[in-house]
Structure 1
Amino acid sequence: MNIRFLITTGLCGIAAMLANPAFAAEGAADESSSADDIIVTANKREQSANKVGITITALGGEELARRQISSLSDVANAVPGLVFSPSTANTPIFTLRGVGFNEKALGVYPAVSVYLDQVPLPFPVLASHAAFDLERIEVLKGPQGTLFGQNATGGAINYIAAKPTDEWMGSGSLGYGRFNRVELNGVVSGPVADGVGIRLAVQGVHSGDWQQSATRDDTLGKEEYLAGRLLVDLNMSGPIRAQLNLNGWIDKSDPQALQYFLLLPNPPGVNEAVQNFPFANLNPRSADWSTGKYRPRADRRFGQAALRVDGDLTSDLTITSLTSFIAFKQEQTADGDGMSLALLNNSPDDGTIDSFTQELRIANNPGGRLNWLVGANLEKSKVKQRQDIYFPDGSVNNPGNLNIFQNANQTRQDFSTLAAFVSGDYAIADRLTLKAGIRYTSSEIKANLCGMDAGDGRINELFTLLGNLLSGTVVPPLQPGDCYSLNEKNIPGEPFIDRLKEDNVSWRGGLDFQVNPDLLLYGNISRGYKAGSYPTIAAATTVQLSPARQEHVTAYEAGFKARIIDRTLQLNGAAFYYDYGDKQVLGKVLDPIFGLLDKLINVPKSRIIGAELEASWTPSDNISVRAGGTYINSRVQDYSGYDVLGEIQDFAGVALPFTPKWTYSLDAEYHTPDLISGGEFFVGATLTGKSAQDAVFAGDRVSLPDREGAKVVDDLAHPFHIDAYATVDGRIGYNADSGWRAMAYVKNAFNTYYIANVIPGADNSARFAGRPVTYGVEVGFDF
Structure 2
Amino acid sequence: MTRLPSTSSLYALAFATALGGIASPAFAADPPAPAPAAEPAADDIADTSHDVIVTATRKETRLQSTPVAVSVIGEEFRATQNVVTTRDLAGQIPGLYTAPSGITPLTNTFFIRGIGNSDPIFDPTVGVYIDDVYLPRAINGMSDLTDVERVEVLRGPQGTLFGANSAGGAIRYVTRTPGDTLEASGDIGYGNFNTVNTHGYIAGGIVPGVLAASLAIAHDQHDGYTWNPTQKLYVNDQNTTGGRIKLLFTPTSTLKITLAADGTIDHSQAAQYTATTYNATNPALSGLGAITGGTLYSPTSFSAYQPNVSYAGRYPINQSRSGGVSGRIDYDVDSHLSFHSITALRGFVQDPVNYNNDGQAKLPYNSAQPRPVELADNYITYKQKSFTQEFQLQGNWNAFDFTAGLYYLFEDFRSDRIGYVTGLPASDTALPAAPFDQIGKTITRNYSAYLQANYHLTDKLTLTAGGRYIIITRGFDFQGVNYDLDGRRIDPTLYPQVLTGGAIPALGINVATSQVNFNNSGVLNRKTWRAFTPKAGISYQVTPTIFAFASYAKGFDAGGFNNRALTLATALPYDPETVNTYEAGFKTDWFDHRLRINATGFYNDYINLQTGVSAFSPISGTYVSTRGNAPAAHTTGFELETSGQPTRNLALAFNVTYLKTRFDDYSAPALGTVPAYNYTGKQFASQPQWQYFASATWTIPLGDHGTLKLGASGNYMTSYFSDTLNTAQYQIPAHGYANAFVDFETADHRWNFTLTARNLADEFYFSSLTPVGAGIRAGPYAGTILLQGAQNPPRTIFFKTSFKY
**TM-score clears 0.5:** yes
* Equivalent pair of 2:440/2:476 in contact (CA under 8 Å): yes
**Structure 1 residue 692, shift from structure 2 partner:** 0.9
Residue 279 of structure 1 deviates from its aligned partner by: 6.1
Give the Cα–Cα distance (whole angstroms) in 2 for the partners of residues 775 and 588 of structure 1: 48
The reply on whether 1:745 has 2:756 as its aligned counterpart is yes
Contact preservation (8 Å) 1:30, 1:517 = no
Is 1:776 equivalent to 2:787 in the alignment? no
1:397 and 1:83, CA in 2 relative to 1: closer, same or farther beyond 3 A?
farther
Q: CA deviation at 1:103?
A: 1.8
Counterpart amino acid of residue 295 in structure 2: A
2:95 paired with 1:81: yes
Q: What are the superposed Cα offsets for residues 611-657 of structure 1, whole Å, 9 maximum, x if unpaired?
A: 110001012331111111110111111011599x9852321111011
Residue 760 of structure 1 deviates from its aligned partner by 3.5
Larger fraction in helix:
1
- Structure 1 equivalent of residue 550 of structure 2: 523
The DSSP-based 3-state class of the residue aligned with 2:767 is strand
- Whether the 8 Å CA contact 1:103–1:585 is kept in 2: the answer is no
1:355 maps to amino acid: S
Specify whether residues 614 and 438 from structure 1 end up closer, same or farther in structure 2 by C-alpha distance, changes over 3 A only.
same
Quickly say closer, same or farther: Cα 1:280–1:668, change in 2 above 3 A: farther
Equivalent position to 1:287, from 310, 317, 331: 310
Question: How far did 1:695 drift?
Answer: 1.4
Displacement of 1:29: 6.2
Residue aligning to 2:135? 121
Task: Provide Cα deviations, 1:313-368, integer angstroms capped at 9, x if missing partner.
Answer: 22311110000000211021111211122444445301111000000011014x83
Q: Per the alignment, do residues 335 and 670 of structure 1 end up closer, same or farther by CA in structure 2, a change over 3 Å counting?
A: same
The alpha-carbon distance between structure 1 residues 599 and 277, as it changes in their structure 2 partners (threshold 3 A), is: farther
How far apart, in 1, do the equivalents of 2:266 and 2:302 lie?
30
Aligned to 2:222, which of 187, 202, 207? 207
AA partner of residue 535 (structure 1): N
Would you say 1:414 and 2:448 are equivalent positions?
A: no
Change (3 A) 1:317 1:465: same
Indicate whether 1:691 and 2:718 are aligned.
yes
8 Å CA contact retained: 2:569, 2:624: no
Is the Cα–Cα contact under 8 Å of residues 449 and 497 in structure 1 kept in the other structure? no
After superposition, residues 539-688 of structure 1 pair within 5 angstroms as 539=566, 541-586=567-612, 599-641=626-668, 648-677=676-705, 679-688=706-715
The size of the alignment, in residue pairs, is 709
CA distance in 1, matches of 2:428, 2:520: 26
1:538 positional shift? 5.2
Give the letter aligned to residue 354 of structure 2: T
Specify every segment of 5 or more residues in structure 2 that has no aligned partner in the other structure, as ranges: 1-22, 24-31, 41-47, 281-290, 363-372, 503-510, 775-785
Q: How far, CA to CA, are the matches of 1:70 and 1:89 in structure 2?
A: 15
Q: Distance in 1 between matches of 2:427 and 2:197?
A: 45
Report what 1:70 is aligned to: 84
Match status 1:505 vs 2:520: no
Candidates 471, 480, 483, aligned match of 1:451? 480
Aligned to 2:508: none
Of residues 733, 741, 750, the one that matches 2:743 is: 733
- Show CA shifts across 1:359-380 (max 9, x none): 0011014x83111011110000
Kept after mapping to 2: 8 A contact 1:211/1:286: yes
Larger RCO (CA under 8 A, 6+ residues apart): 2
**1:417–1:546 Cα change, 3 Å:** same
Question: 1:303 Cα deviation (Å)?
Answer: 1.4
Compared with structure 1, are the counterparts of its residues 220 and 642 closer, same or farther at alpha carbon in structure 2 (3 Å cutoff)? farther
The one-letter code matched in structure 2 to 1:734 is F
Distance 1:570 1:28, change over 3 A: closer
Q: Distance in 1 between matches of 2:520 and 2:253?
A: 59
Q: 1:735 to 1:329 in 2, by over 3 A?
A: same
1:334 — aligned with what? 355
In structure 2, the partner of 1:441 is 470
Kindly state the Cα deviation for residue 732 of structure 1 after the two structures are TM-superposed: 0.4
What residue number does 2:72 align with? Answer: 58
Provide Cα deviations, 1:730-754, integer angstroms capped at 9, x if missing partner: 1002011242211111110001121
1:574: how far off?
Answer: 0.9
Match of 2:789 in 1: 767
| Whole-angstrom distance in 1 between the partners of 2:334 and 2:546 | 34
Give a deviation string over 1:398-456, Cα, whole Å, max 9, x none. 8666x543221111110110000000111012211001110000001111111102235
The change in CA–CA distance for 1:724 and 1:531 in structure 2 (over 3 A counts) is same
Counterpart contact for 2:94–2:640, Cα < 8 Å: no
1:344–1:389 contact (8 Å) kept in structure 2:
no
Contact persistence 1:590–1:646 (CA under 8 A) = no
Q: 1:154 to 1:283 in 2, by over 3 A?
A: farther
**Do residues 464 (structure 1) and 499 (structure 2) align?**
yes
Instruction: Give the distance between the partners of 2:616 and 2:309, measured in 1 at CA.
Output: 33
Q: How much identity, in percent, do the aligned residues show?
A: 24
Equivalent-residue separation in structure 2 for 1:627 and 1:281 (angstroms): 39
SS at match of 1:146: coil
Q: In 2, are the aligned partners of 1:254 and 1:297 still within 8 Å (CA)?
A: yes
CA distance in structure 1 between the aligned counterparts of 2:391 and 2:38, rounded to whole angstroms:
31
Of the three residues 452, 455, 466, the one matched with 1:426 is: 455
What RMSD over aligned residues (CA atoms) do the two structures have, in Å?
Answer: 3.2
Q: CA deviation at 1:185?
A: 0.7
SS at match of 1:315: coil
1:676 aligned counterpart, secondary structure: helix
2:729 partner letter:
P
- The residue aligned with 1:249 is 264
In the alignment, which residue of structure 2 is the partner of 1:306?
326
In structure 2, distance between residues paired with 1:272 and 1:745: 45
- Structure 2 Cα separation of the partners of residues 66 and 354 of structure 1: 36
2:120 is matched with which residue: 101, 104, 123? Answer: 104
Q: Specify whether residues 561 and 509 from structure 1 end up closer, same or farther in structure 2 by C-alpha distance, changes over 3 A only.
A: same
5+ residue gaps, structure 1: 1-17, 19-24, 468-482, 703-717
- Distance between the aligned counterparts of 1:280 and 1:205, measured in 2? 34
In the alignment, the residues of structure 2 paired with residue 264 and residue 397 of structure 1 have an alpha-carbon distance, to the nearest angstrom, of 19
- Aligned twin of 2:45: none
Q: CA deviation at 1:272?
A: 3.8
Return closer, same or farther for 1:646/1:671 CA change in 2, 3 Å cut-off: farther
2:365 aligns to what?
Answer: none
Per the alignment, residue 7 of structure 1 pairs with: none
- Contact 1:253 1:298 survives alignment (8 Å): yes
State how 1:168-183 maps to structure 2 within 5 Å: 168-183=182-197
Q: In the alignment, which residue of structure 2 is the partner of 1:39?
A: 53
Report deviation, 1:199.
1.3
Conservation of the 8 A alpha-carbon contact between 1:641 and 1:649: yes
Distance 2:301 2:58 in 1: 54
2:218/2:241 contact within 8 Å kept: yes
**Is 2:409 aligned against 1:386?**
no
CA–CA distance in 2 between the matches of 1:32 and 1:125? 47
Task: Supply the AA of the counterpart residue of 1:579.
Answer: D
CA, structure 1 residues 111+493, in 2 after alignment: closer, same or farther (shift >3 Å)? closer
150, 156, 160: which is aligned to 2:174? 160
The structural deviation recorded for 1:169 is 2.2
Quickly say closer, same or farther: Cα 1:578–1:289, change in 2 above 3 A: same
Rounded Cα–Cα distance in structure 2 between residues aligned with 1:690 and 1:642: 35
Query: 3-state DSSP class of the match of 1:619?
Result: coil
- Displacement, 1:284? 4.1
1:374 aligned partner, one-letter code: A
Q: Distance in 1 between matches of 2:802 and 2:78?
A: 15
